[in-house]
C-alpha cells in the first residue's frame, strides 16, 4: 500500500472560525479558554478529515495562531528582547506579530517584528530577529501538546517542523558585525531537545520543512546542512520536505544527509522527478508532491498516475503520495459553494477535495481497479475543458497577438511629465496622501452584503455608498491631507473587486485563504480570457472628486498583482494572463483621465512576490512583468500622474526593474523596517518620486508625531526632499477610524513641522 499524507491543512476553519475567534480575543471580547476551544475544534475536524480519507498519517504542528514561522520562534524560546517579559505565552506571540495582544491592555505596545512574504506566495510570515548573544531553549509546548491531542483522538501522527537552516535563513540580523549562521550550533541543541521529546511521544516520522533548498544557496549555507542533520539525528525518522521549485541543484548535498526520505514539489517542478528518483539513496522514501497545494483546479488523476508509474515500478512502497506543499494556500471546502454552475464546480478542488485526490491517486498507483475507474471518471471535466471554446475569445486573442513595444510607452519621459504635473496638480513640498482604502466598518460590510443578497436596490446601494465616500472625503479634508482617495467602500478586496468586474473570472463565496494572522483573502479564479466590458472605477472616483477641490486619486490594482493574488489558469502562460489584464487596465486609465482624474495609482504590491525562486529565471519574468505594468499606464497623458504601490518586498535585487516601471510616484512599506528598505536606494539613483511609508498600518499602535518626523528625516538622507511624499505604508481598511484619524493627524503634523524647517 502506498503511504499517503499531506504537508499541512488550512488552520482558519471552513468559515474562518479562527479569524473571528482571534479578533474577538484581540478586542477583549473573549478569553484564552474560548480562543483555544475554537482552535481545538478546527484541529479535531482537520485530523478527522485526513483519517476519513484513509491517509497514512494525520499531520500535526501545522496549526498556527498567527503564522508558523512565529510559532517556531516561540517553540525555540527565541523572542525579540523588547518583547521578553517572563515565560512566553500566547500574548507574547501576539505582541511580536502585531505590536500588542489585546485592546484591553491599555498600552501602545512595543513595535511588532518585521513581516514579509513566504517565498513567492501571498502568505506572510513574521521575520525572526537574530543577535550575536541569542539563546534557544524549548519554552513553548504547543507542538507537543497538539501531538498528544491528535494521538488521544486515535491518529497516527506525523509532526511538521520548520527546519533549522530555513529558520535561520528566513530571519535577519538586527545588529551589525555578525553572521546569523554562527548561531547554528546553539540552534541545533534546541532541535536535539525537540527530537528527544518526539521520541518520548513515540513519533515514527517527522516532516522537516527546508524550503530554502529550492533556492540557489551559496556554499556556506549548503555545507551547513550536512552538519545540521548529523547533529539532530535520532531514532525519529526524518522526511525532508522541499517545495515551490526544483531541488535538482541541491541533490548532491541532499543525498548525503542523515535523513530517511525526501519530499519534492511535482506541481511547481514536475521535470525534476526522473533525476530525483535516479539519485535517491536505496534506503530512502520519496514523497511525490503530486497534488497541487497552491491552485484550485481539479487534478487530472489519469495524467498524474501515468507520470508516476515509472517511479512506482522502481521504488515500490518507498514511493509516497502527498500534496505539493501545505494546503494552507488553498481554500478549505468546495462543497460550501452554492453559487457555481455544475460545470464550473466540476473544474475545481479545494483543500478538502485535494485530500481525497491524494487517497484516490495512491490507490490507483497500487492497481486498485475501482480507484483506476474513479480516477478516469473524476478527470473527465478537466480533460473536456481543454477543448472548450468558451474560455478562448477571438477579440482578446487578436489584441494580444498584436502587442508591440509601442503599446508599453507613454507619450513623454519622466522629466517632461513631471513639469506638466507640477503645473496642473500644484502640490506642496512633501505632499501627503494615503495608499487607497479607509476603514471597512461593519456598516460598510453589511451594506455590501445586503446588496449582494438583493435586499437593496441598485439606487439604494449607490446612495449609501456615496454617503460613505462623502464621509471619507470630509474626514481627509479635516485632517489636511493633500491628495485624497475615495476610500473604496464599494470594494471587498483590491483584487476580487476587479475580478468581479472583468469578464474571465470566477469568484467564490467561501474560498478564503489565510494571508497572515486573522487576515484572509478570497482569491478569484481565472477561468477564461480576460476583458473589460465597461468602466469599473470611474463612476465612484468621479463622484468623490465632485466633493472636493483637492486632487482625487483613482485607484487600480495592477496586472501582476491581480495575477499573483488570483488562482491562474493552467492552460496558458502567466505572461499571457498578465497581458490580458494590462490591456483591460489601460482602457480604465484612459476613461479615468477623460473623467478629470489627474492622479491614478496602479498598485503592484506583488511584483516582487511573483519572482521565480531561482535568480537565473528572474530576468525573463521581470521583463514581461514590467512591460505589462507599462502597458497598463501607457494611455496616461503627460499631465496624468501615475502612482504605484509596493509593500513588504525586498527591493535590492529588483531595483532596476522597479525604476523601469517608470511610475511618476512609487509608495513603499518602510515604517515597520525603520526605513531599512530604503537601503536599496542608497547606491541606486532612483529617478522619480517616492513615498516611503511612515505609518505601519498592520499594527494597532498609533505612531507619534516625533516618530513620523524622524522617519521622514531619515528618508530625506536618501531621497531628495523635493521628490519625497509622506504616506502610510499600505491601505487602511483593516484599521478602525479612531486609530486611523489620530495616526493621519500625526502624519500631517509631522509633515507641517518639516515644511516649516525647510521653508
Model confidence over 675-698: pLDDT tens digits? 666 666 666 778 899 998 888 887
Using pLDDT thresholds of 50, 70 and 90, give the confidence band for residue 392. confident
Average pLDDT of the residues in 289-312: 98
| pLDDT for 682 | 66
554 assigned ligand-binding residue: no
Q: Give the Cα separation of 85 and 620 in Å (integer).
A: 48
pLDDT at position 663 over 70 = yes
275 assigned ligand-binding residue: no
> Model confidence over 12-58: pLDDT tens digits?
999 999 999 999 999 999 999 999 999 999 999 999 999 999 999 99
293 assigned ligand-binding residue: no
564 assigned ligand-binding residue: no
| pLDDT for 684 | 73
DSSP bridge partners of 237: 205
> Model confidence over 699-756: pLDDT tens digits?
788 989 999 998 899 888 888 899 999 999 889 998 999 999 999 999 999 999 999 9
> Model confidence over 317-365: pLDDT tens digits?
999 999 999 999 999 999 999 999 999 999 999 999 999 999 999 999 9
Average pLDDT of the residues in 295-303: 97
Q: CATH 3.20.20.210 region(s) of the chain?
A: 3-386, 493-536+554-665
Q: Give the Cα separation of 178 and 132 in Å (integer).
A: 6
Residues 6+ apart with CB under 8 A from 263: 7, 207, 239, 240, 241, 242, 243, 286, 287, 288, 289, 320, 322
SS3 label, residue 530: strand
19 assigned ligand-binding residue: yes
For a pLDDT cut of 70, what percent of the chain falls above it?
Answer: 97
Average pLDDT of the residues of the chain: 94
Q: Quick one: fold of 3-386?
A: TIM Barrel (3.20.20)
- Could you confirm whether 698 is annotated as catalytic? yes
Of the residues 68, 83, 486, 698, only one is catalytic, namely: 698
Residues 6+ apart with CB under 8 A from 35: 21, 22, 24, 25, 90
| pLDDT for 700 | 82
Total number of residues shown for the chain = 759
Q: Give the Cα separation of 710 and 678 in Å (integer).
A: 14
pLDDT at position 671 over 70 = no
Average pLDDT of the residues in 154-170: 98
Q: Give the Cα separation of 201 and 60 in Å (integer).
A: 13
Q: Give the Cα separation of 176 and 173 in Å (integer).
A: 7
More confident site: 583 or 385: 583
Cα pseudo-dihedral 463, 467, 468, 472, rounded to 10: 140
pLDDT at position 108 over 60 = no
Distances (CA, A) of 657 to 120, 414, 603, 636, 640: 17, 16, 15, 20, 22
730 assigned ligand-binding residue: yes
| pLDDT for 92 | 93
> CA quadruple 554, 560, 563, 566: dihedral positive or negative?
negative
Q: Quick one: fold of 493-536+554-665?
A: TIM Barrel (3.20.20)
198 close to 159: Cβ distance less than 8 angstroms: yes
| pLDDT for 609 | 83
> What is the enclosing helix (H) or strand (E) of 505?
strand 503-506
Half-sphere exposure of 585 (CA within 13 A, CB side): 34
Q: Give the Cα separation of 695 and 354 in Å (integer).
A: 40
Question: Which of 166-170, 519-523, 725-729 shows the highest mean pLDDT?
Answer: 166-170
Pairing of strands 525-531, 58-60: unpaired
Amino acid at each position: 500500500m502506498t503511504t499517503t499524507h499531506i504537508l499541512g491543512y488550512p488552520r482558519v476553519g471552513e468559515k474562518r472560525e479562527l479569524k473571528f475567534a482571534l479578533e474577538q480575543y484581540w478586542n477583549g471580547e473573549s478569553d484564552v479558554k474560548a480562543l483555544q476551544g475554537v482552535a481545538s475544534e478546527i484541529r479535531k475536524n482537520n485530523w478527522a478529515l485526513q483519517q476519513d480519507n484513509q491517509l497514512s498519517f494525520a499531520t500535526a504542528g501545522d496549526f498556527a495562531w498567527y503564522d508558523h514561522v512565529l510559532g517556531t520562534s516561540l517553540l525555540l524560546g527565541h523572542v525579540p528582547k523588547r518583547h521578553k517579559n517572563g515565560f512566553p505565552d500566547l500574548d507574547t506571540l501576539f505582541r511580536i506579530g502585531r505590536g500588542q495582544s489585546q485592546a484591553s491592555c491599555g498600552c501602545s505596545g512595543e513595535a511588532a517584528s518585521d513581516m514579509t512574504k513566504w517565498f513567492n506566495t501571498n502568505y506572510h510570515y513574521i521575520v525572526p530577529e537574530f543577535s550575536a548573544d541569542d539563546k534557544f531553549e524549548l519554552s513553548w509546548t504547543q507542538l507537543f501538546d497538539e501531538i498528544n491531542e491528535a494521538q488521544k483522538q486515535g491518529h497516527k501522527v506525523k509532526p511538521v517542523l520548520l527546519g533549522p537552516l530555513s529558520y535561520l535563513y528566513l530571519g535577519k540580523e538586527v545588529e551589525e558585525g555578525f553572521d546569523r549562521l554562527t548561531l547554528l550550533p546553539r540552534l541545533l541543541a534546541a532541535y536535539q531537545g525537540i527530537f528527544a521529546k518526539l521520541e518520548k511521544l513515540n513519533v515514527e516520522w517527522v516532516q522537516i520543512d527546508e524550503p530554502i533548498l529550492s533556492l540557489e544557496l551559496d556554499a556556506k549555507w549548503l555545507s551547513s546542512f550536512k552538519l545540521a542533520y548529523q547533529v539532530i539525528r535520532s531514532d525519529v525518522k526524518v522526511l525532508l520536505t522541499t517545495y515551490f521549485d526544483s531541488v535538482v541543484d541541491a541533490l548532491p548535498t541532499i543525498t548525503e544527509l542523515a535523513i530517511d526520505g525526501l519530499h519534492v514539489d511535482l506541481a511547481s517542478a514536475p521535470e525534476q522527478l526522473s533525476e530525483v528518483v535516479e539519485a535517491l539513496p536505496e534506503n530512502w522514501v520519496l514523497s511525490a508532491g503530486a497534488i497541487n497545494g497552491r491552485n484550485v483546479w481539479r487534478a487530472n488523476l489519469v495524467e498524474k498516475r501515468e507520470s508516476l508509474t515509472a517511479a512506482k515500478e522502481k521504488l515500490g512502497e518507498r514511493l509516497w503520495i502527498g500534496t505539493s506543499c501545505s494546503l494552507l494556500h488553498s481554500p478549505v471546502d468546495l462543497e460550501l459553494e452554492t453559487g457555481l454552475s455544475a460545470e464550473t464546480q466540476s473544474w475545481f478542488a479545494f483543500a478538502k477535495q485535494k485530500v481525497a485526490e491524494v487517497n484516490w491517486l495512491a490507490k490507483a498507483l497500487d492497481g486498485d481497479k475501482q480507484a483506476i475507474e474513479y480516477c478516469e471518471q473524476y478527470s473527465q471535466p478537466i480533460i473536456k475543458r481543454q477543448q472548450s471554446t468558451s474560455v478562448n475569445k477571438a477579440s482578446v486573442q487578436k489584441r494580444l497577438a498584436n502587442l508591440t513595444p509601442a503599446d508599453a510607452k507613454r507619450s513623454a519621459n519622466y522629466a517632461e511629465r513631471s513639469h506638466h504635473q507640477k503645473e496642473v496638480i500644484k502640490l506642496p513640498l512633501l505632499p501627503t496622501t494615503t495608499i487607497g482604502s479607509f476603514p471597512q466598518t461593519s456598516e460598510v460590510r453589511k451594506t455590501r452584503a445586503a446588496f449582494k443578497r438583493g435586499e437593496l436596490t441598485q439606487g439604494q446601494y449607490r446612495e449609501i455608498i456615496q454617503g460613505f465616500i462623502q464621509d471619507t472625503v470630509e474626514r481627509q479634508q479635516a485632517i489636511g491631507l493633500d491628495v485624497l482617495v475615495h476610500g473604496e467602500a464599494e470594494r471587498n478586496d483590491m483584487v476580487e473587486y476587479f475580478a468581479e468586474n472583468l469578464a474571465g473570472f470566477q469568484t467564490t463565496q467561501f474560498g478564503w485563504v489565510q494571508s497572515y494572522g486573522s487576515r484572509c483573502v478570497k482569491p478569484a479564479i481565472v477561468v477564461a480570457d480576460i476583458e473589460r466590458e465597461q468602466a469599473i472605477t470611474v463612476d465612484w472616483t468621479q463622484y468623490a472628486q465632485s466633493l472636493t477641490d483637492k486632487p482625487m486619486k483613482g485607484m487600480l490594482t495592477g496586472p501582476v498583482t491581480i495575477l499573483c493574488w488570483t488562482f491562474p489558469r493552467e492552460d496558458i502562460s502567466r505572461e499571457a494572463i498578465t497581458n490580458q489584464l494590462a490591456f483591460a487596465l489601460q482602457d480604465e486609465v484612459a476613461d479615468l483621465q477623460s473623467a478629470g482624474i489627474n492622479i491614478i495609482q496602479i498598485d503592484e504590491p506583488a511584483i516582487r512576490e511573483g519572482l521565480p525562486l531561482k535568480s537565473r529565471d528572474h530576468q525573463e519574468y521581470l521583463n514581461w512583468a514590467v512591460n505589462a505594468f507599462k502597458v497598463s499606464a501607457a494611455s496616461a497623458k503627460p499631465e496624468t500622474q501615475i502612482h504605484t504601490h509596493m509593500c513588504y518586498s525586498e527591493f535590492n535585487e529588483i531595483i532596476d526593474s522597479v525604476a523601469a516601471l517608470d511610475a511618476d510616484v512609487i509608495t513603499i512599506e518602510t515604517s515597520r523596517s525603520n526605513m531599512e528598505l530604503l537601503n536599496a536606494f542608497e547606491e541606486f539613483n532612483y529617478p522619480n518620486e517616492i513615498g516611503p511609508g511612515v505609518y505601519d498600518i498592520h499594527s494597532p499602535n498609533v505612531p507619534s508625531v516625533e516618530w513620523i518626523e524622524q522617519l521622514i528625516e531619515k528618508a530625506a538622507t536618501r531621497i531628495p526632499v523635493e521628490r519625497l511624499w509622506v504616506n502610510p505604508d499600505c491601505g487602511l481598511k483593516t484599521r478602525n477610524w479612531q486609530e486611523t484619524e489620530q495616526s493621519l493627524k500625526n502624519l500631517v503634523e509631522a509633515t507641517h513641522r518639516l515644511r516649516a524647517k525647510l521653508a
